[in-house]
A and B are shown apart, each in its own frame.
Chain A
Amino acid sequence: GNSVTQMEGPVTLSEEAFLTINCTYTATGYPSLFWYVQYPGEGLQLLLKATKADDKGSNKGFEATYRKETTSFHLEKGSVQVSDSAVYFCALRREGAQKLVFGQGTRLTINP
């Protein structure tokens, strides 16, 4: 079946550190891939997405590249801020399907 696996959290970094949150997926065909962010007490917001192999999604300094060969969609940011503290979810949507399949979420805490 379709599944998404994210790196175990929580992740704690200092401000201006480099961030990587790993995400790998299992799916048939060519799913679309997403990163969602959930700030404390809020709902999920789409952070970025990629719909085909080698696409790079980017937003707010975050980037992720759709790697078909390694079935990965790792999230990166060059210099994190305290305001980036949140839970990050990697997700996929299979071609032609409606539902999103989420990873387990990674809690990120940035210390000043």
Chain B
Amino acid sequence: DTAVSQTPKYLVTQMGNDKSIKCEQNLGHDTMYWYKQDSKKFLKIMFSYNNKELIINETVPNRFSPKSPDKAHLNLHINSLELGDSAVYFCASSQGSGAPYEQYFGPGTRLTVT
């Protein structure tokens, strides 16, 4: 069974479009994250949700809007896509915060904006 799954795996779209990436975890974790990995492999956190509440919101354009319908899902919606949004987006989850809980990562979604 896949612990953290993301759909789609690949997403190619044009500038100006709106797209969503879905993430689901079946680990029973209560904290979920979105990370962005750029073309140089640099990985940086974007958002974190704990029990459906936004905990971390790094300096991310407000075109990016996370949505957590329940503890097991954290979707990422992106409006008015730009070329610079091209990257691999990773979802992750962990069993809470305040301790060195392991974060489990999904396989990533490669977004290409043309």
What's the least CB distance linking A3 to chain B, in Å? 12
Per the 8 Å Cβ criterion, residues 21-80 of A in contact with B are 32, 36, 42-46, 49, 51
Chain A CB within 8 A of B55 CB: yes
Task: Name 15 A/B residue pairs within 8 A (Cβ), A-sorted.
Answer: A42-B107, A43-B4, A44-B43, A49-B100, A49-B102, A51-B100, A93-B100, A96-B98, A97-B97, A98-B56, A99-B45, A101-B45, A102-B42, A102-B44, A105-B42
Bound CA span A107–B42, Å: 12
Bound CA span A32–B98, Å: 11
Q: Are B41's CB and A105's CB within 8 A?
A: yes
What's the least CB distance linking A109 to chain B, in Å? 14
Write the chain A residue with the least CB distance to B102: A46
Chain A CB within 8 A of B48 CB: yes
Bound CA span A102–B105, Å: 14
Chain A CB within 8 A of B31 CB: yes
Bound CA span A97–B103, Å: 13
What's the least CB distance linking A9 to chain B, in Å? 9
Bound CA span A45–B103, Å: 9
Q: Which residues of B contact A101 (CB under 8 A)?
A: 45
Q: How many residues of B contact A (CB 8 A)?
A: 27
Q: Which residues of B contact A13 (CB under 8 A)?
A: none
Q: Tell me if B's interface is mostly helix, strand, loop or mixed.
A: strand
Chain B CB within 8 A of A104 CB: yes
A42-B107, A44-B92, A97-B97 are known; give 4 further A-B pairs, CB within 8 A. Answer: A46-B102, A49-B100, A98-B94, A104-B41
What's the least CB distance linking B26 to chain A, in Å? 15
Bound CA span A44–B104, Å: 8
Q: Which of A46, A51, A96, A100 has the most CB of B within 10 A?
A: A100
Write the chain B residue with the least CB distance to A31: B100
Which of A45, A96, A97, A104 interacts with B105 by CB under 8 Å? A45
Q: Which residues of B contact A98 (CB under 8 A)?
A: 31, 33, 48, 50, 55-56, 94, 97-98
Q: Are A100's CB and B97's CB within 8 A?
A: no
